[in-house]
A and B are shown apart, each in its own frame.
Chain A
Amino acid sequence: MDSSIHESLLEVAMSSRDDAVDLEELFESSDEYDPVPRAERLRRWLDLSVLAPARVAINDWRALIGTIILGCYLVVGTVGVVVVERPYSDVAPRNAPPFQNLEYILGTDTVGQPIGALLVHATPAMLKMIFAGAMVSVGLAALVGLLSGFMRDTLVDTVLMSITDVIITIPGLPLVIVLLAIFEPENPYMVGVLLGLDNWPGLARTVRSQVLSIREEAYVEASKIMGLSTLTILRRDLLGQLMPYITINSALSSRRIIFESVGLYFIGVLPFTTFNWGVMMNMAYQNHALTRPDRLHYLLFPMATIFLMSFGLVLFSQGMDSVFNVRLQARHASTTDGEVTSDE
């Protein structure tokens, strides 16, 4: 047990004041004849959904470090590719150990390509893959979840949720492997899309339950304050409420896409491409990096690169989790938990 119990006691003590503020906001910003201009509303929304979390995020070390790490990868993937020369065979001595020469600081591989440059030039494709995969999984999740939530207890809802449950149950990797084996995609975006296909059902369920819980709330509020349509309240709350889940899930599904794609490149299921961390690991492994200590670095550096990137993503998601939780708790103490009690 901790001081949070005590803090929550204080919160309870002050809750009446907070409620009052919330109600005022409600009256102000959601009037049918809205006196607040669109720009002002946008500013407020930005403040609530983006700037406020960002401010808290700076104070949360995990979110901060996570963001910095991810930022570094972004820089490497865009600027780094221009700065660092594209590696070719025998531009450097073969099997050079790391930390000996500034030209190829991480050493070289069995055909004399600098490992550092290989890692850098593999980054853009990885970023594209992650981007495509995260977009597909989050996009599908949002679409299915929203549709299903809005059309609760209709045929659409039933069908969508059945599909969701089916996809949750099918083991993801074998499915993706079959898809990859049949379509043999080379384009990193395409690989990302295929990997993202089995990754959305969990988030879709979360989105749906959020929509449902906001609908409940909206109904209650709407009946309290006449003249406010449920839709208005939904629109007002939905984005703010879903932001946390979408942010955190994007990070987590990005991590999963890295894991899966690198793994599949590593074992050679995904078609060989020139620059890829997984392909590097595969080459290293094929060249007995595990048994020959002088080649171990060839395997270790890609591993470290993958680790650091997913570490950044995990830190980011953890940090965001606590950031958003703080904010949500402050707003409505009782609705953060997605569970709906059974006696409804």
Chain B
Amino acid sequence: MNWNYFIKRFGQAVLTLAATITLSFVLYHAMPGSPAESLKNVILSQQAASGSGTVDLERLNRMVSMYTNIQPDEPLHVQYYQYIHQIVIEGSLGTSIYENKPVTELIFERVPWSMFISVYALTIGYSLSILIGSVMAYTEKSRFDSVSSSIIIGLNSVPYYIVGLLLIYVLAIQNEFFPYGGRVGSNVAAGFNVTFMQSIIWHAVLPVVSMSMLGLGGALTMRGNAVRVLGEDYLRVATLRGLRRSRIATQYVGRNAILPMYTQFMIGIAGVFSSAVIVEQIFTYPGVGLLMYNAIQTQDYPLLMGSLIIFTTVTVIGIFIADVTYGFVDPRISAGGSDE
């Protein structure tokens, strides 16, 4: 492992997180009026609903600080320092205005569910596209190649949420193969038992399939890569060396064609997590995406910012892992790097 590369990537990850946290701080201030001003109405309406009396400015500031980690009466740089301090050191993302619970608690309860469907969608989407892409490359210019190219171009033109809606219509409403919402059956007892697991998987199928559409465009990339590798000199030499077909297919064509996909895969992580907001809303799948959606509806800004920070954190960790492992699959990485 090249330490220089490792440190560089780690720095990148930290920088991204810092940038996102800073951005959320800036956004609090970019809201019309000061954060206190803009949150006042929200808080007041919540207070009115819960029947508390009048609120004075000092108390309001304290509440803004409790909800958002921003202390409106301090100078800007102190606010910023305290904001960062709260998030990084205390691990606090503020308090949800609507639920009146710590944002971290609300989010962490849901992160596993989002991870669950995202990771499966990503894995399935990319495995499929690698498989289809390589078969297409091997049968280049055949009927299979042109038909699957057309299908993939077609699928590329359908937003994943439309795929999701169509899946709900065909597989959940017309035929009741799958449930059309939720993450587990309502009458299934939670616990480590088979029915519960089955129910979870059953509920995840449709969201996973519609999210995996995002990775499918990779098939064309894979096809292009494989076709390129098939024309490489080292492939010709491998054939001339009388190597076994299976070795050439996996170690030569496969490995070299998949390598460039790895980077795409990393960027895909961000894309798939992004899609969670829309997909979870359609399937009423209670992950972080749905939480974020609800936060918008209730103008729950701390929860909204918290979700953004968590989404970014999960993505950054995913990309960092992919980045670091990339060094193991491609030996050239330690020599080259950022200059491509």
Contacts and interface: CB of A to CB of B under 8 A. Distances in A.
Touching chains A and B, CB distance < 8 Å: yes
A1 B140 contact: yes
Interface stretch (B13-21, B67-75, B128-136, B187-195): B13-21
Interface string B249-280: 00000000000000000010011011101100
B267 A162 contact: no
A126 to B, nearest CB: 13
Q: Is the interface of A mostly helix, strand, loop or mixed?
A: helix
Nearest to A303: B162
Given A161-B338, A168-B270, A170-B315, A1 B296 contact: no
A169 B316 contact: yes
Given A5-B231, A202-B267, A174 B153 contact: no
- Chain B's interface: helix, strand, loop or mixed, by majority? helix
B282 A307 contact: no
B335 A314 contact: no
Given A1-B140, A290-B165, A340-B339, A171 B270 contact: yes
A195 to B, nearest CB: 12
A178 interface: yes
B308 interface: yes
B321 interface: no
A172 B270 contact: yes
B162 A178 contact: no
A264 B157 CA distance: 17
Interface string A25-47: 00000000000000000000000
Nearest to A179: B27
Contacts of A173: 274-275, 277-278
A335 to B, nearest CB: 14
A169 B16 contact: yes
Contact of B169 (A172, A290, A307): A290
B159 interface: yes
B292 A290 contact: no
A212 B173 CA distance: 55
B117 interface: no
Nearest to B153: A314
Interface residues of B, number: 60
A264 B279 CA distance: 11
Interface residues of A, number: 58
A168 B157 contact: no
A272 interface: no
Given A170-B312, A181-B296, A267 B27 contact: no
Interface stretch (A14-22, A102-110, A111-119, A255-263): A255-263
Interface in A290-344: 290-291, 296, 299, 303, 306-308, 310-311, 313-315, 318, 338-343
A255 B231 contact: no
Interface string A156-175: 00000110011011111111
Nearest to A342: B336
Interface in A229-245: none
Given A174-B307, A263-B278, A182 B30 contact: yes
Given A162-B12, A173-B274, 17 more contacts: A170-B16, A170-B270, A170-B315, A174-B307, A174-B308, A174-B312, A177-B304, A178-B24, A178-B304, A181-B296, A182-B301, A259-B160, A266-B278, A267-B161, A269-B296, A303-B166, A314-B153
